[in-house]
Amino acid sequence: MKLSLTELQKDYRHEPLKFDDTLELAEALKERYPDEVLDVTPVHIKGMASVDQNGDALLYAHITATLTVPSTRSLAPVELPTNFDINEFYVATQAALNRYEKTDVVLVVEDDTIDVDKAVADNLLLQIPMQVLTKAERADQPLPEGKGWSVSLEGSDESSDSKSVDPRLAKLANFFDQSSEKGDS
């Protein structure tokens, strides 16, 4: 789905363009991000595009889809339902960026075209968490291991040697305790 900024400014200045559509983004996402996305269901997008008094366009949309992504532990496929909103502003010139806060998502329109498919695809990728686990992995199944190697979780007691101190730094282990005692006297 593509929108023309000029058409939005001309035809939808007083009333927003409303849409309720289904986008087929699976092939595009799998091609752009083959390691992160294994599959995507058809993406349902419902929202509107409006134009403010400056001629800037606002795209608001509610998006639902199910991504299939690899587990970060075993690479097994995991279905990840998504349900989120996006708010993006589209401006005609670089100078128009100054009208917005740093926290706003503002994009400069090139060739008068707002590529809604790309915006939705990019936002879908942002919905993938850093750690994705299958149901079995979440149920705390034993971590994989082999001859001479094992997988450990960051921050777990087994992988954390927070009790051991590098011998070269052993003298500094109580440094702050000693300096506070000297300051008290």
Q: What is the pLDDT of residue 135?
A: 85
* pLDDT for position 70: 93
CA atoms within 13 A on the CB side of 179: 6
Q: d(Cα 128, Cα 70) in Å, to the nearest integer?
A: 10
Position 141 scores a pLDDT of 63
Arithmetic mean of pLDDT over the chain: 84
Q: Evaluate whether 38 touches 71 at the Cβ level (below 8 Å).
A: no
**3-state SS, residue 5:** helix
Instruction: Scan for tokens 């949309």, then name that residue.
Output: 61
C-alpha gyration radius of the chain: 25
Which three-class secondary structure state does DSSP give residue 37?
coil
Contact 23, 78 (CB under 8 A): no
Q: What is the DSSP string of 101-163?
A: -TTS-EEE-BTTEEEHHHHHHHHHHHTS-S----HHHHTTPPPPEETTEE---TTSTTT--TT
What pLDDT is stored for residue 12 in this prediction? 83
Token pair in block for residue 32:
């752009």
Which pLDDT band, with edges at 50, 70 and 90, does 119 fall under?
Answer: very high
Q: What is the pLDDT of residue 159?
A: 45
Q: By percentage, how much of the chain surpasses pLDDT 90?
A: 39
Q: Is the dihedral of CA 122, 124, 96, 60 positive or negative?
A: positive
Q: pLDDT by residue (tens digit) across 64-96?
A: 999 999 998 888 999 999 999 999 999 888 888
3-state secondary structure of 23: strand
Question: pLDDT tens-digit profile of 19-37?
Answer: 999 999 999 999 999 999 9
pLDDT bin (cut points 50, 70, 90) of residue 98 is confident
